[in-house]
Amino acid sequence: MLVAGEKSEQLFNETQVSETIRHMALSVLRSIRDHQPSPILLLGIQQGGVPLAEALAPACQSLTQHTIHCGTLDCSFYRDDIALRLPSPRPTELPIDLEDAAVVLVDDVFDSGRTLRAALDALHEYGRPAVIRFAALVDRQAALLPLRADVIGFTIPASSYPGRIRAGREGIFLESLS
């Protein structure tokens, strides 16, 4: 959603995003191949990661005979900036037990790493997976924490493209103040 005074520029279109999601699916399966036949769970981080996880799940399923489960994870109460903004919690839905599962956390944009850190803290409240991987549609290369994405769709450096990235299946947009 654009705020008054912001401009939006499309960096990648829907076709490019769809193709990238198919490539990401193969990378996701490769990243957990040493842990199969563990149950495989793609967990979309609320809220931007949910549509991506929902798109990745069938793409992954088309490449393997293992069942791909898809769920959601809310980490709003685990954020280190909770005092700065009022959390708006959304549901966490775990279709399988996390114990010994291969879990892939999925988000739309990997920026500072704070959301991933919060997601890891939230995830461990529900159990101990065999392995945890992280997939992001966009990596901004601006991590402030020693965290990284295991699977990346697009790299859009914050230093080269200042502004806010809005990413989804319909495309990737750079929103900047005019």
pTM of the model: 0.92
How much of the chain, in percent, has pLDDT values that exceed 90? 79
Cα dihedral 134/135/136/142 (nearest 10): 40
pLDDT of amino acid 177: 60
Domain annotation for the chain: domains and CATH numbers: 15-82+90-155 (3.40.50.2020)
Burial class of residue 65 in the structure, from the number of CB atoms within 10 Å of its CB (0-12 exposed, 13-18 middle, 19+ buried): exposed
- pLDDT surpasses 80 at 130: yes
Distance from chain centroid for Cα 126: 18
- pLDDT surpasses 90 at 147: yes
